[in-house]
């Protein structure tokens, strides 16, 4: 094992709530943390009533004491702002702080995130507390980062939010005539005569209204988050980062926009019932890394079990270790277990912990001890490394919302479709970034847009420029159907992109039975969705697949195309492919783009790579996500396995749930 000492790159930690315990009990907890090998704890994110027990009565000494005691045991702190848990005294004084639900009722105090994100009184109380915390804790050298709030998620339907929404629309559209025109409000006599008539959409409504409401929710959270960042930042040392802990594929707001003001993204990774699905989890890591296009943290992960699933089963022994290394391989620099110790009371009594209510380690503790040891000893191997990809999948919240509101087929799920494109690339161990369609595409050879249904001029120009520069672009079903008002383009799809595809969509069909598909490189079926394509530029466009006999409308018609555009190549896949066909299709697409997998690996083994940019040092993390021994064939180089301490050539044998961390032998 590498023993070289250096800057700590990999962190392992837990969420700790000293406010649940008498201070005399902290020392035994912290000694156990040190024994376990934790390097960081997150504290404070629900502690408002302990930090400010009554208005303006700030009580920070207890937290100073906890931070210092932890530091004495070589454990650093991530401090959360406690705004996810506004206290009873504040809610009593300002009942309007409580959010209003869809039925128009105030939500109940005491279940977290019970606030209206736009409440003036809440903003004022937050500003006072966060300012005081910034002034008091900002220069503390033992705090390495801050987390704003916790898992933003609530949507408020109060009159104040509605009024602000109307103001936002007025500012954007300037005139009601403009809004009425762009929203086609003549439909069902929705025409607005006054801004105050515009509702908050509840359930299905005008698509433009629904999209604007989502933008407004994003804007509201961003504003609230930004206020806290602006209060904190002037008091923090330069190297201290600010994050928010997102929740994977949750789509309550646009995560790219929310990440703009953060230094780093992080996410809370829970399996719930069952076991880790490595492909899905890899995609979620890639998604989170894409929010800032840089390394991230897993701010919460389950210590064996949760308390909220239908069956709160444990992970298999050894599974947590594979998950921890999967996260690191995908670009995480930290894994923090939620939580350290079972509180005696409170809503989450039965959630997994590292230490039980008696203060004694649970059996799972030993597994984390091994992970902590490995993280500590291998930290320097990962110094300055990050994931590098030549393939990007474009993920767009607006397109996702637009499709989810008008799925047209109950099984047409935006994320599932995106994952159907992701899965073959993952199986081929091809590194993939999942990014916003508005991010730079310069570093990519291959870009896939599974269902980029909303495009405007800027996006069209962006995609065109990528292909003009020789990029290979794959467009999936429902591409370029709508504009930023969630209105149809007055053209056949993919509107304004047909000069790139050389083909257009004549019609689309939701499928209640699978349709056979004959491809040039594969045979298979279309499921859920099928578009009937028409080639409009026959000189440089070829069909890639045609439909077999089915409903008559699709018989013998073109399902997929390929178009030469200068030095670039554009694919259009109008069919929602079965998994086998998709694998064959994308394998060929990747080969055409000159994109290769890292190593070939058997099913259930994933290979991740982090690269140190300045000298191109590569670190491979190989994780056997199966409970059987597996063998991975390597290339002609010899490698050092930093976990086993062995030198490897030819192949590597991985025990059940085995992990290897390889660098080329120098």
Going by DSSP bridges, is the β-strand pair 617-624/558-565 parallel, antiparallel, or unpaired?
Answer: unpaired
Peptide bond into 494 cis (omega under 30): yes
**Which range of residues in 57-65, 112-120, 127-135, 289-297 is near Zn ion by CB under 5 A?**
112-120
State the Cα–Cα distance between residues 278 and 663, nearest whole angstrom: 23
Distances (CA, A) of 539 to 348, 468, 558, 560: 64, 18, 16, 16
Among 19, 45, 151, 212, the one annotated catalytic = 151
State in angstroms the smallest separation of the CB of 98 from Zn ion. 9
State the Cα–Cα distance between residues 385 and 614, nearest whole angstrom: 9
State in angstroms the smallest separation of the CB of 54 from Zn ion. 25
State in angstroms the smallest separation of the CB of 2 from Zn ion. 52
Task: Give 47 or 200: the residue with its C-beta nearer to Zn ion.
Answer: 200
Task: Give 117 or 355: the residue with its C-beta nearer to Zn ion.
Answer: 117
State in angstroms the smallest separation of the CB of 209 from Zn ion. 17
300 is catalytic: yes
For residue 646, the 8-state DSSP code is: -
Inter-residue contact 417 to 448 (CB < 8 Å): no
DSSP secondary structure, 102-120, as one string: TTSPBPPTTSS--B-TT-H
Task: Give 133 or 169: the residue with its C-beta nearer to Zn ion.
Answer: 169
Inter-residue contact 251 to 414 (CB < 8 Å): no
Q: Which of residues 148-177 bind Zn ion (CB under 5 A)?
A: 156, 158, 161
Among 45, 52, 212, 300, the one annotated catalytic = 300
Helix (H) or strand (E) holding 290: helix 278-292
State in angstroms the smallest separation of the CB of 120 from Zn ion. 10
Task: Give 118 or 550: the residue with its C-beta nearer to Zn ion.
Answer: 118
Inter-residue contact 126 to 83 (CB < 8 Å): yes
State the Cα–Cα distance between residues 354 and 166, nearest whole angstrom: 48
Task: Give 201 or 658: the residue with its C-beta nearer to Zn ion.
Answer: 201
Is there a binding annotation on residue 150? yes
Q: Does residue number 129 form part of the binding site for Zn ion (CB under 5 A)?
A: no
DSSP secondary structure, 307-352, as one string: SSSSS-PPPPTTHHHHHHHHHHHTTEEEEEES-SB--SSSTTTTS-
Task: Give 114 or 464: the residue with its C-beta nearer to Zn ion.
Answer: 114
Residue corresponding to tokens 């962006």: 462
**Which range of residues in 109-117, 238-246, 331-339, 653-661 is near Zn ion by CB under 5 A?**
109-117
State in angstroms the smallest separation of the CB of 88 from Zn ion. 19
Q: Does residue number 116 form part of the binding site for Zn ion (CB under 5 A)?
A: yes
State the Cα–Cα distance between residues 334 and 317, nearest whole angstrom: 21
State in angstroms the smallest separation of the CB of 101 from Zn ion. 10
Is there a binding annotation on residue 113? no
Task: Give 122 or 296: the residue with its C-beta nearer to Zn ion.
Answer: 122
Phi, psi for residue 253 in degrees, rounded to 5:
-155, 170
Helix (H) or strand (E) holding 163: helix 159-173
Inter-residue contact 485 to 478 (CB < 8 Å): no
Task: Give 118 or 304: the residue with its C-beta nearer to Zn ion.
Answer: 118
Phi, psi for residue 300 in degrees, rounded to 5:
-140, 140
State the Cα–Cα distance between residues 573 and 531, nearest whole angstrom: 8
Inter-residue contact 342 to 20 (CB < 8 Å): no
366 is catalytic: no
Going by DSSP bridges, is the β-strand pair 515-519/605-612 parallel, antiparallel, or unpaired?
Answer: unpaired
State the Cα–Cα distance between residues 618 and 620, nearest whole angstrom: 6
Can you tell me whether residue 391 is helix, strand or coil? strand
Peptide bond into 396 cis (omega under 30): no
Going by DSSP bridges, is the β-strand pair 332-337/523-535 parallel, antiparallel, or unpaired?
Answer: unpaired
Mask 221-260, x = binds Zn ion (CB under 5 A)?
----------------------------------------
For residue 485, the 8-state DSSP code is: T
State in angstroms the smallest separation of the CB of 147 from Zn ion. 23
State in angstroms the smallest separation of the CB of 158 from Zn ion. 3
**Which range of residues in 38-46, 115-123, 503-511, 654-662 is near Zn ion by CB under 5 A?**
115-123
Q: Does residue number 67 form part of the binding site for Zn ion (CB under 5 A)?
A: no
Torsion of CA 432, 605, 589, 406, to 10 degrees: -60
State in angstroms the smallest separation of the CB of 119 from Zn ion. 6
Query: 650: left (phi > 0), else alpha (psi -120 to 50), else beta?
Result: left
Can you tell me whether residue 629 is helix, strand or coil? coil
Is there a binding annotation on residue 308? yes
Inter-residue contact 619 to 662 (CB < 8 Å): yes
State the Cα–Cα distance between residues 183 and 513, nearest whole angstrom: 35
Number of residues that bind Zn ion (CB under 5 A): 4
The binding site for substrate consists of 112, 150, 308
The binding site for Zn(2+) consists of 116, 156, 158, 161
The binding site consists of 112, 116, 150, 156, 158, 161, 308
**Catalytic annotation, residues:** 151, 300
| Contact set with Zn ion (CB under 5 A) | 116, 156, 158, 161
């Amino acid at each position: 094992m590498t023993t070289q000492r250096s800057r700590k790159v990999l962190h392992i930690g837990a969420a700790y709530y000293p406010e649940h315990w008498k201070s005399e009990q902290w020392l035994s907890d912290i000694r156990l943390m040190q024994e376990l090998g934790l390097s960081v704890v997150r504290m404070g994110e629900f502690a408002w009533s302990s930090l400010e027990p009554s208005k303006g009565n700030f009580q920070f000494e207890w937290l100073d004491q906890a931070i210092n005691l932890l530091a004495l045991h070589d454990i650093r702190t991530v401090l959360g702002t406690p705004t996810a848990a506004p206290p009873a005294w504040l809610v009593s004084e300002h009942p309007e702080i409580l959010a209003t639900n869809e039925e128009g009722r105030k939500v109940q105090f005491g279940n977290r995130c019970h606030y209206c994100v736009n409440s003036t009184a809440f903003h004022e109380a937050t500003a006072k507390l966060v300012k005081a915390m910034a002034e008091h804790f900002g220069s503390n050298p033992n705090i390495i980062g801050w987390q704003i709030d916790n898992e933003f998620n609530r949507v408020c339907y109060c009159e104040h939010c509605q009024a602000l929404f109307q103001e936002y629309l007025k500012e954007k559209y300037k005139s009601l005539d403009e809004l009425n025109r762009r929203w086609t409000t003549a439909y069902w006599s929705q025409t607005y005569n006054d801004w105050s008539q515009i509702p908050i959409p509840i359930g299905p409504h005008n698509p433009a209204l629904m999209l604007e409401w989502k933008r407004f929710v994003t804007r509201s959270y961003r504003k609230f988050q930004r206020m806290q960042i602006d209060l904190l930042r002037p008091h923090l040392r330069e190297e201290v980062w600010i994050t928010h802990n997102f929740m994977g594929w949750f789509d309550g707001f646009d995560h790219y926009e929310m990440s703009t003001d953060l230094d780093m993204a992080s996410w809370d990774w829970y399996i719930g019932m069952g076991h880790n699905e490595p492909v899905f989890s890899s995609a979620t890591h890639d998604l989170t890394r894409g929010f800032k296009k840089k390394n991230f943290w897993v701010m919460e992960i389950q210590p064996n079990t949760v308390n909220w699933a239908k069956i709160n089963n444990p992970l298999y022994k050894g599974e947590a270790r594979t998950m921890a290394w999967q996260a690191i391989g995908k670009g995480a620099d930290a894994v923090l277990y939620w939580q350290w110790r079972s509180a005696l009371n409170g809503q989450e009594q039965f959630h997994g912990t590292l230490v039980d209510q008696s203060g004694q380690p649970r059996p799972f503790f030993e597994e984390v001890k091994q992970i902590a040891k490995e993280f500590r000893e291998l930290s320097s191997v990962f110094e300055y490394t990050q994931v590098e990809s030549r393939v990007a999948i474009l993920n767009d919240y607006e397109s996702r919302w637009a499709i989810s509101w008008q799925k047209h087929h109950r099984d047409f799920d935006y994320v599932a479709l995106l994952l159907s494109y992701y899965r073959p690339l993952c199986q081929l161990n091809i590194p993939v970034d999942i990014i916003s369609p508005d991010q730079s595409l310069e570093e990519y050879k291959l870009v896939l847009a599974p269902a980029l249904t909303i495009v405007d001029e800027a996006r069209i120009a962006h995609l065109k420029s990528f292909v003009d520069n020789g990029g290979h672009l794959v467009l999936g079903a429902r591409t370029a159907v709508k504009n930023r008002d969630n209105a149809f383009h007055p053209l056949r799809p993919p509107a304004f992109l047909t000069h790139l595809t050389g083909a257009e969509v004549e019609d689309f069909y939701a499928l209640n039975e699978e349709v056979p598909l004959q491809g040039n490189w594969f045979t298979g079926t279309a499921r859920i969705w099928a578009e009937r394509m028409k080639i409009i530029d026959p000189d440089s466009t070829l069909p890639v697949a045609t439909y077999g006999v089915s409903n008559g409308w699709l018989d013998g018609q073109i399902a997929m195309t390929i178009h030469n555009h200068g030095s670039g190549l554009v694919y259009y896949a109008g069919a929602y492919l079965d998994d086998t066909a998709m694998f064959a299709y994308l394998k060929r697409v990747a080969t055409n783009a000159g994109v290769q997998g890292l190593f070939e690996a058997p099913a259930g083994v994933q290979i991740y790579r982090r690269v140190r940019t300045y000298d191109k040092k590569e670190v491979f993390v190989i994780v056997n996500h199966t409970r059987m021994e597996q063998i991975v064939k390597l290339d002609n180089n010899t490698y050092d396995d930093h976990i086993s301490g062995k030198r490897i050539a030819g192949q590597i044998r991985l025990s059940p749930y085995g992990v290897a961390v390889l660098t080329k032998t120098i």
